[in-house]
Amino acid sequence: MLDDVTSYLKSDTTPGQAGNFLWAFIYILLIFLGLSVAVIAMNWLERKILAHMQVRLGPMRVGPHGLLQPIADAIKLLIKEDIMPSESDPFVFWTAPLIVVLTAFTVFIVVPFGPTHAVTDMNIGVLFMLGVSSLSVLGVVMAGWASNSHYPLMGALRSSAQMVSYEIAMGLAVISAVLMTSLNQSGTGTLSMIGIVQAQEAQATWFVFKFFPLGLIAFFVFAVAMVAETNRAPFDLPEAESELTAGFHTEYSGFRWSLFFLAEYSAMIAVSSIAVTLWLGGWLHPFPHWLSGETWDLVFSLFPGLTFVFLAGLTFYSVARMPKHPYFRVQTMGLAGFGAVLGLIGLALFAPPVRDRVQDIYWFAAKVAGFMYLYIWYRGTFPRYRFDQLMTVGWKILLPIGLGVLIVTAILGVVL
Amino acid sequence: MADATKNVSHLELGDTDKTFLDSNELIINMGPQHPATHGVLRVILRLDGEKVLGTECVIGYLHRGVEKIAENRTYAMFNPYVDRMDYVAAVSNGLGYCEAVEKLLNLEAPPRANYIRVILTELNRLASHMLWLGTHALDIGAITPLFYTFRDREEILKIFEKYCGARLTTHAFRIGGCLYETYEGFEQDVTKFLKFVTPKIDEYEELLTTNRIWVERTRNVGMLSAKDCIALGVTGPVLRASGVKWDLRKAQPYAAYPDFEFEIPTGQNGDTYDRYLVRMQEMRQSLRIIEQAVGKIPEGPIMAKVPKVIKPPVGEIYHSIEAPKGELGYFIVSDGSTQPYRVRVRPPSFVNLQALEQMVRGQLVADVIAVIGTLDIVLGEVDR
């Protein structure tokens, strides 16, 4: 048992490859936990950031600066009455959210948070991710159909058409990234998520800068397609609030609705992870080749700890600014406690064995967080596309671009 | 128009022999509880996939019998009721009613009162257009402009509150002039507001006017030709966007409007984008009018000599003004008593709404929302 624990810590492969079931299980738990925390944090951050973009404050009442709002929401959703329309198909109605959530979480098995930090490394990693994440459309269609109601049906139809069309553009962009892995050195082309990042390391460039501007265009195609794929603004037609009230999950409430919510946000994180892995160098820190060597390694490994200490500092600054009133005493103490936890985590991350092991995860998460911010930013800025325009963008703009990039990449690969 | 909706009687919706999945046509009931129908409008849509084959509007969910109430109230008592029709442009409603009764009484409000009326009415036009912009953009999916416009509309409401104590249903004017003199610093407040709001309108335009998605969503959507507009009796910015230069402030000047210089913005295509541009231009023209009015507001009384008991002579009158949404007309029949025999209101929203069917047929579901937004209807006024 103890042997299992220590042997993996010294190994340099993923637990899945090493056949270490204990650690694989721990990783699955960690990912499940981390994802749930990330979704909760995203909920709060989205409401706060969007609010500040829109000259308002966002949640302020539940906990200091509304920090406990997502938890209050979660409790509310759990104890809410679970309504099922009488005309619905109960079995399909039940299974639809499960399918959506399962696919959204299953995808994370192959996401490489670091060279050793993944549940497992498959040689068909990218294919697995695209395949599993596209299964979620099944859940959406089932939800819309089982509700036996007009708005959900229309939302489901829109959603399936949208996800199927954008998957093609997405796939083309992905293939051009996969082609790039085999360039410059023969026989190394790979679909493995870890392999793709290692190829970027070996070729000394992130694929977004590869064959400039080819990689950038492919990345752009993917970045647009992934927003459409996750049904977010400006492509949020399946749940277009002003047209279809809530789209395919109109008839869902309570816990089952929250499953859709959870799935939507984890799907956002999942596609962002693909984008980060394929184009932005995965777990590699910025400029891994210019800024290499002992000193730079030390500097970059200090970042995770510094970030947490900085957040703790911000929290303590907010504690100092809390109104000095007995009414706010509990909130102030709670905020201080939160800051202390952040600070302690930060200090723990400074310890040499921890920081070497953790900094890969940190850089990966930081890049994904950048995408999450973009998602929120889009939502605050763009109006919504109409259905026919959405199809035009998918089929007449993104698809030809993706195809062109793919062909040119392939030709360049042969020529160079 | 009737043939397209012939089969969409809402009684048929209760037919449970077949489910809607068996049919090629989808009949969707949009409203009265729907986030984008601006209140309690109910639209029954007949759809083929996403395409709209026909619509049927069902109104009356907000009917309060305002016109009937008028027959049991004295002329002065009915005045506050008109504010509740188009509650986002209450000042305009009040102006129309007061001027109609004044015409019936052969009265004329003093010049200073007319200037105050113009300033407040134009401020109200701004507030109404801001609310329209925010909600219209929200319907099309841009959520941020809503908060910007509400933030700036607040400043207008603050001026109203300082002037007469109410923010929304102001009851700002009385028959024969104004009850309240302007408060200390009214001119400064208005001038400050003008300086404040001009860059804000630029800000809205920056967010939307050249935004690719916005242009694609609005251009060639809900087309209405000038001929159709006139045939349907459509007025206001919707008419002007189709290229008809018709604005009652110029065509049949009332209050102090002849004293001011302003232009009537018009569009060419009569689509949703043109209506957006026309309203944006109108906001700037309103600022121009307010600026001139504040600059040369005359001294003098604010109330004409009005008899204690208002008893107009036997007769009838139709008076209309240019409300933010179009021609707002009052037809009042007097039988010589203290109460009107009949008051008929010609609300712009109600008349404009009948163009909906023609504007959305053959378009997509998302366009229905855009068109409802661009018609700028207020259900309080549609149903009265």
Pull the structure tokens for residue A280.
């932005």
- Nearest CA-CA distance, residue A79 and chain B, Å: 25
Pull the structure tokens for residue A10.
């010294």
Question: Nearest to residue A393, comparing CAs of B208, B370, B272, B216?
Answer: B216
pLDDT in 10s for each residue of chain B, 384 residues: 444 444 444 445 555 555 555 567 778 888 788 877 777 888 888 888 778 888 888 888 888 888 899 898 898 889 889 888 888 888 999 999 999 999 888 888 898 999 999 999 999 999 999 999 999 988 888 888 889 999 999 999 999 999 988 888 888 888 888 888 888 888 889 999 999 999 999 988 888 888 888 898 888 888 888 888 899 889 989 999 998 888 888 888 888 888 888 888 988 888 899 999 999 999 999 999 999 988 888 888 888 888 888 888 898 999 999 989 989 999 999 988 888 999 999 999 999 988 888 888 888 888 888 888 898 888 888 888
Question: Nearest to residue B324, comparing CAs of B248, B267, B380, B271?
Answer: B248
Mutating which of A50, A386, A387, A391 best tests the B interface, going by the most B Cβ atoms within 10 A?
A386
User: Mean of the pLDDT values across residues A288-293?
Assistant: 73
pLDDT at A173 over 60: yes
What pLDDT shows up at residue B5?
44
Residue pair A405/A173 in contact (Cβ under 8 Å)? The answer is yes
Q: Do B141 and A389 touch (CB under 8 A)?
A: no
In a domain, B10, yes or no: no
What pLDDT shows up at residue B157?
92
User: Could you say which of B28, B143, B216 has the minimum Cβ distance to residue A380?
Assistant: B143
The predicted-structure confidence for A154-167, as pLDDT tens digits, reads as follows: 888 888 888 888 88
What CATH number is attached to the domain comprising B356?
Answer: 1.10.645.10
The rounded distance, in Å, linking the Cα atoms of A413 and B12 is: 64
In a domain, B30, yes or no: no
Q: Do A54 and B137 touch (CB under 8 A)?
A: no
Q: Do B211 and A383 touch (CB under 8 A)?
A: yes
Mutating which of A151, A384, A391 best tests the B interface, going by the most B Cβ atoms within 10 A?
A384
- Nearest CA-CA distance, residue B58 and chain A, Å: 18
In a domain, B272, yes or no: yes
Q: How far apart are the first and last CA of chain B?
A: 24
The predicted-structure confidence for A73-128, as pLDDT tens digits, reads as follows: 889 888 888 888 887 788 888 888 899 888 888 888 888 887 777 777 888 888 88
In a domain, B196, yes or no: yes
A153 contacts in chain B (CB < 8 Å) = 20-21, 26
The rounded distance, in Å, linking the Cα atoms of B44 and B47 is: 10
User: Mean of the pLDDT values across residues A337-352?
Assistant: 87
ipTM of the complex in this document: 0.80
In a domain, B192, yes or no: yes
In a domain, B1, yes or no: no
Pull the structure tokens for residue A54.
């829109």
Compute the half-sphere exposure of residue B313: CA atoms within 13 Å on the CB side of its CA. Answer: 5
Cα dihedral value A294, A297, A298, A301, nearest 10: -160
Residues of B with CB under 8 A from a CB of A: 19-21, 26-29, 34-36, 49-50, 137-144, 146-148, 151, 207-208, 211, 213-214, 216-217, 364-369
pLDDT at A14 over 80: no
Residue pair A191/A125 in contact (Cβ under 8 Å)? The answer is yes
Residue found by looking up tokens 């029949």 in the block: B333
B145 contacts in chain A (CB < 8 Å) = none
Residue pair B224/B240 in contact (Cβ under 8 Å)? The answer is no
- Read off the DSSP letter of residue B138: H
**CA nearest B28 in A: which residue?**
A150
What pLDDT shows up at residue B3?
45
User: Mean of the pLDDT values across residues A196-225?
Assistant: 83
Q: How many domains does chain B have?
A: 1
- Nearest CA-CA distance, residue B15 and chain A, Å: 14
User: Mean of the pLDDT values across residues A311-325?
Assistant: 87
**CA nearest B214 in A: which residue?**
A383
**A149-153, A263-267, B182-186, B342-346: least confident range:** A149-153
**A209-223, A244-258, B359-373: least confident range:** A244-258
In a domain, B362, yes or no: yes
Q: Do B29 and A154 touch (CB under 8 A)?
A: no
In a domain, B304, yes or no: yes
B144 contacts in chain A (CB < 8 Å) = 53-54, 380-381
Q: Write out the residue range of the structural domain in which residue B88 sits.
A: 66-383
The rounded distance, in Å, linking the Cα atoms of A108 and A277 is: 12
What pLDDT shows up at residue A5?
67
**CA nearest A233 in B: which residue?**
B141
What pLDDT shows up at residue A4?
66
- Nearest CA-CA distance, residue B331 and chain A, Å: 37
What pLDDT shows up at residue B279?
92
Question: Nearest to residue A198, comparing CAs of A14, A388, A67?
Answer: A14
